[in-house]
Amino acid sequence: MNGLRTATVGVYNTVAETKSVNKERFRTATISVCKYMDYIAAACVFMIMAVSVTNIFLRLLGNPLTGTIDMVCIMSTAAIGLALAYSVYNKAQIAVPILVNKFSQGWQNGIDICTNLISLVFWVAVVYNLILSSREMYEKGLTTGTLNLPLYPVMLFLALGFGAMCLVLVYRVYELAGNRKP
């Protein structure tokens, strides 16, 4: 009987260790995706600055850069969409926890789980509609006004950014559900 109890405890330790390793892998993958997309967003911001400064200098020489507005609009949209996941992961959004802080930690976790699940449903719907919109833009051949750049990749970048934000929300729910007190 004593040997059976030891074996059972050993199995539980293995399962707990496996869950811990899987949670760490999920966290690492989520952080990696968010950071990679944030680096791309930072590159977009740098390119916005470079295009704007180049246009200013060329304008002084009497030969402005054609399509500056198109490039800045596309890159700023991509930068905002791609940077969202990392800022949500870092909890950089506005929160007003005045009422929630009065509850116990278990209730706070439950409220956070519900809030994140509601947000997840909303943002999944946004991603779905962005993908549908990009498909429609592709079929109609919508382009920018000056450079005639297709607009559907911009919508796909937004969908990618919001999709990564959904990954962060799933991670948060997973993390909060794992912190439950029995």
pLDDT tens for the 182 residues of the chain, in order:
454 544 455 555 566 666 677 778 888 999 999 999 999 999 999 999 999 999 999 999 999 999 999 999 999 999 999 999 999 898 887 776 777 778 888 888 888 899 999 999 999 999 999 999 999 999 999 999 899 999 999 999 899 999 999 999 999 998 888 765 43
**H/E/C letters for each residue in the chain?**
CHHHHHHHHHHHHHHHHHHHHHHHHHHHHHHHHHHHHHHHHHHHHHHHHHHHHHHHHHHHCCCCCCCHHHHHHHHHHHHHHHHHHHHHHCCCCCCCCCCHHHCCHHHHHHHHHHHHHHHHHHHHHHHHHHHHHHHHHHHHCCECCCCCCECHHHHHHHHHHHHHHHHHHHHHHHHHHHCCCC
pTM: 0.80
**pLDDT for 15:** 60
